[in-house]
């Protein structure tokens, strides 16, 4: 009779990352499984933490927020680093996002998704190649 260790070695067992769906990720946030002080997002079914911000990366989104908030027509609002559900495996935290409706429209129902988002701003101080690749195509 084979042992468990022998079966694992001979069965071709390989470790692989466990892909998360946006549903599971959003439930993890709501249940407090992801610390609120961490800027974690879902990309391609994997969890990532946003990088620390340089002074420029902090200042530019604030300038966008102020300018947009003063000019948006009724029925739209501006947010910063809030989850946006793009599809089943992507829930990023864009630097700035313009969404239809009012902030409390999403309070207890769902995160905004592609039907709701009108503008996404990602500040690329040092991440331009990444932001112009897969991220750009996903946001589009």
At which residue do the structure tokens 């995160």 appear? 111
Mean pLDDT of the chain: 85
13/125: higher pLDDT: 125
Strand partners, 56: none
User: CA-to-CA distance for 45 and 115, rounded, in angstroms?
Assistant: 21
User: CA-to-CA distance for 76 and 26, rounded, in angstroms?
Assistant: 23
* Cβ–Cβ under 8 Å, residues 99 and 73: no
pTM recorded for the entire structure = 0.79
User: CA-to-CA distance for 17 and 56, rounded, in angstroms?
Assistant: 34
Question: Could you tell me the CA-to-CA distances from 42 to 2, 29, 54, 88 in Å, in that order?
Answer: 40, 11, 22, 10
pLDDT digits (tens, 9 = 90+) for 18-44: 889 999 999 999 999 999 899 999 999
pLDDT digits (tens, 9 = 90+) for 59-115: 988 998 989 989 999 999 999 999 999 999 999 999 999 999 998 888 788 899 989
118/106: higher pLDDT: 118
Q: What is the pLDDT of residue 7?
A: 45
């Amino acid at each position: 009779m084979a042992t468990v260790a022998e079966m694992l070695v001979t069965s071709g067992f390989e470790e692989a990352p466990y892909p998360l769906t946006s549903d599971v990720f959003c439930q993890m946030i709501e249940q407090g499984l992801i610390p609120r002080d961490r800027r974690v997002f879902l990309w391609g079914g994997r969890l990532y933490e946003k990088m620390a911000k340089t002074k420029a990366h902090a200042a530019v989104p604030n300038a966008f927020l102020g300018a947009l908030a003063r000019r948006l027509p009724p029925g739209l609002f501006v947010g910063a680093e809030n989850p946006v559900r793009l599809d089943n495996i992507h829930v990023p935290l864009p630097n700035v996002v313009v969404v239809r409706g009012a902030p409390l429209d999403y309070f207890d129902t769902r995160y905004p998704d592609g039907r709701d988002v009108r503008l996404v701003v990602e500040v690329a101080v040092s991440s331009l190649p990444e932001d112009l690749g897969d991220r750009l195509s996903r946001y589009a």
